[in-house]
């Protein structure tokens, strides 16, 4: 790919305990800006639309793994202000199908040393994730997943109710409606700080000389002879050789600008947190039958999520009946939370495909690529998705993304993860 001269690499302070000590002695005057705020250039080798985790990770691995640095990431709002900054941060890779296990496990393993790689503390906490089995059907399903994971090299196991109680003493395993019959346990699953993931990637992209341009909405995709040539934005036209569309809940809308349709629906998914309390739970618990999940943040808040709204919308709010259903499910599972006050609630617009698997693909418009369809569970995939998407955009092929092409919908090669990803996160 021809490389127009990228911007000069930006000098960044290196974050370390020594840097903190040094700055403490000079009133913290020596820190550099974490990322630049440049005016758009006329042309880039690659434009990525969407400065969420997936867009920023794609840009980062384009630079790091493929030496492509004349890149702009265009964001209509602020970076990380979409689903990346709104999710409940669960990271796991215990999926059933081989292509899913491959990309989610690649992501999970990159999370292990992402803080060192980015020189930014993303607070990855591999505290363990358990998915409760509360029906005979779930026992069979999760045992099957544990066997599949063993073959895929993903470390999970099916554990007994007694072990569930030992790992999470605040749980009521006898349950009034659905007693806990066991769980699928991934000890190296966990959480990370969502904003930090976006900020860490943004900082590294900026350091490599890439432009992250916020408040720059893409309003049109320009093409000539079936090939993409650039975009129209709220800050003028910008040309590019390759375009990556990474806009989650707005994918259908942007695809429409590029002249193709996606098999995708946009729905609101919401989350809520309680007032902060003392540490009482050091694992992530997902209860899919009663339908709720919970973990405790470093600040002490109980972070709670439920299901998607049953109708398409773009509201970024979520409906009241879901709050009630989710809280009811969790009070049943963790009776102690009935005394907690809820602090705040918010929503995001997730992009859901029919087989509940993502799309990382070339498109009918040449040199235009799409990364979407992560639905309710794409935070965990950010590093792996960025890695694969960058490889696909740079070389035209990635083993990580091969199975996730758009053509699977016309060829009937679905990657059915509706049990692993339909409502869970
Ligand atoms: C409440 C909630 C809980 C969740 N919980 C989890 C969880 O526990 N674990 C998990 O793995 N996943 C979870 N998810 C899903 C996860 O958040 C998403 O899959 C993931 O963040 C998607 O990242 P992204 O970078 O693709 O999208 P986003 O972070 O949404 O980024 C897309 C960006 O594109 C921008 N954009 C859109 N249109 C345009 C345009 N025309 N021009 C310029 N910019 C544009 C948007 O402003 C946005 O910033 C949850 C989601 C929600 C909403």
> Percent of the chain, pLDDT > 90?
87
Enumerate residues 6+ apart whose C-beta is below 8 A from 38: 7, 211, 213
**pLDDT tens, residue by residue, 123-165:** 999 999 999 999 999 999 999 999 999 999 999 999 999 999 9
- Give 186 Cα–ligand 1 centroid separation in angstroms: 24
φ, ψ of residue 410 to 5 degrees: the values are -85, -25
pLDDT confidence of residue 291: 87
DSSP SS3 for 238: strand
pLDDT at 8: 61
Regarding the beta carbon of 82 and ligand 1, being less than 6 Å apart is answered yes
Q: Whose CA is nearest to atom 26 of ligand 1?
A: 248
- Estimate the share of the chain in helix, then strand, then coil, as percent rounded to the nearest 5: 35, 25, 40
Q: pTM here?
A: 0.96
Considering only 54-68, 218-232, 303-317, 333-347, which range has the smallest mean pLDDT? 303-317
Give the pLDDT confidence score for residue 127 in this predicted structure: 98
Q: Nearest to residue 184, comparing CAs of 221, 123, 142?
A: 142
Whether residue 95 has its Cβ less than 6 Å from ligand 1: no
Residue 130 is predicted with a pLDDT of 97
90 lines ligand 1 (CB under 6 A): yes
* Paired tokens of 282: 């050091």
Nearest C-alpha neighbor of 180 from the set 190, 168, 191: 168
- Residue 2, pLDDT above cutoff 50: no
- Nearest partner of 409 among 309, 261, 233, 217, judged by Cα: 261
Tens of pLDDT, residue by residue over 6-26, are: 566 677 889 999 999 999 999
Question: What is the number of alpha carbons within 13 Å of residue 197 lying toward its C-beta?
Answer: 37
What superfamily does domain 37-87+194-263+355-421 belong to in CATH? Answer: FAD/NAD(P)-binding domain (3.50.50.60)
What mean pLDDT comes out for the span 370-399? 97
String of DSSP letters for 10-64: PP-PPPSHHHHHHHHTTTT--PPPSS--PPPPSEEEEEEE--SHHHHHHHHHHHH
pLDDT, mean over the chain: 94
Mutation test of ligand 1: which of 230, 231, 246, 247 has the most ligand atoms closer than 8 Å to its C-beta? 247
Q: Which of 220 and 316 is assigned the larger pLDDT?
A: 220
CA distances from 265 to 89, 260, 373, 398 (A): 22, 15, 9, 26
Note the pLDDT of residue 1: 46
| Structure-block tokens of residue 322 | 């879901």
The domain segmentation of the chain, as residue ranges, is 37-87+194-263+355-421, 126-190+265-353
Q: Do domains 37-87+194-263+355-421 and 126-190+265-353 have the same CATH topology?
A: no
Contact 119, 14 (CB under 8 A): yes
Give me 72's structure tokens.
Answer: 């702009």
pLDDT tens, position by position, 221-255: 999 999 999 999 999 999 999 999 999 999 999 99
Instruction: Tell which atom from ligand 1 comes closest to the C-alpha of 249.
Output: 30
Indicate which atom in ligand 1 lies nearest the CA of residue 351. 19
How much is the average pLDDT of 402-409? 96
Segment 283-294, tens digit of pLDDT? 999 999 988 999
The DSSP secondary structure of 313-339, one letter per residue, reads ---SS--HHHHHHHHHHHHHH-GGGGG
126-190+265-353 belongs to which CATH class? alpha beta
- Going by C-alpha positions, the residue among 364, 366, 382, 362 that lies closest to residue 374 is 382
**How many residues in total does the chain contain?**
425
Instruction: Give Rg (Cα) of the chain.
Output: 21
- Looking at the predicted structure, is the pLDDT value of residue 416 above 80? yes
**Is the pLDDT confidence value at 205 over 90?**
yes
Number of helices (H), then strands (E), belonging to the chain: the values are 12, 18
Nearest C-alpha to atom 19 of ligand 1 is from which residue? 378
């Amino acid at each position: 790919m021809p490389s127009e001269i990228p911007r000069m690499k930006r000098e960044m302070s290196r974050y370390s305990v020594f840097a903190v000590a040094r700055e403490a002695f000079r009133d913290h005057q020596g820190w550099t800006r974490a990322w630049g705020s440049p005016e758009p250039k006329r042309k880039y080798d690659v434009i990525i639309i969407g400065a969420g985790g997936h867009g920023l990770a794609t840009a980062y691995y384009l630079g790091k793994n493929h030496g492509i640095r004349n890149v702009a990431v265009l964001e209509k709002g602020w970076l990380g202000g979409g689903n990346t900054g709104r999710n409940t941060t669960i990271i796991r890779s215990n999926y059933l199908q081989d292509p899913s296990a491959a990309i989610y496990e690649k992501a999970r393993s990159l999370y292990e040393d992402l803080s060192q790689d980015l020189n930014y503390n993303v607070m990855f906490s591999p505290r363990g994730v358990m998915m409760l089995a509360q029906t005979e059907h779930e026992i069979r399903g999760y045992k099957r997943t544990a066997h599949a994971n063993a073959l895929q090299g993903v470390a999970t196991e099916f554990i007994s109710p007694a072990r569930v109680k030992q790992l999470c003493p605040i749980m009521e395993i006898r349950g009034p409606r659905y007693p806990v019959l066991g769980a699928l346990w991934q000890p190296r699953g966990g959480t990370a700080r969502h904003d930090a993931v976006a900020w860490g990637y943004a900082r590294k992209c900026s350091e490599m000389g890439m432009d992250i341009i916020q408040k720059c909405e893409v309003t049109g995709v320009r093409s000539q002879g079936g090939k993409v040539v650039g975009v129209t934005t709220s800050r003028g036209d910008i040309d590019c050789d390759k375009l990556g569309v990474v806009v989650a809940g707005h994918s259908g809308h942007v695809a429409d600008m590029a002249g193709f349709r996606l098999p995708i629906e946009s729905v609101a998914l919401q989350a809520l947190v309680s007032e902060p309390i003392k540490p009482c739970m050091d694992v992530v618990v997902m209860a899919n039958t009663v339908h709720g999940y919970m973990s405790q943040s470093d600040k002490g808040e109980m972070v709670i999520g439920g299901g998607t709204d049953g109708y398409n919308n773009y509201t970024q709010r979520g409906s009241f009946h879901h709050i009630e259903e989710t809280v009811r499910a969790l009070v049943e599972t963790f009776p102690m939370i009935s005394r907690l006050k809820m602090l705040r609630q918010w929503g995001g617009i997730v992009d859901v495909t029919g087989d509940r698997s993502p799309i990382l693909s070339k498109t009918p418009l040449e040199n235009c690529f799409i990364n979407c369809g992560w639905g309710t569970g794409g935070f965990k995939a950010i590093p792996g998705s960025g890695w694969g998407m960058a490889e696909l955009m740079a070389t035209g092929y990635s083993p990580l993304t091969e199975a996730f092409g758009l053509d699977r919908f016309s060829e009937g090669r679905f990657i059915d993860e509706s049990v692993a990803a339909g409502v869970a996160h």
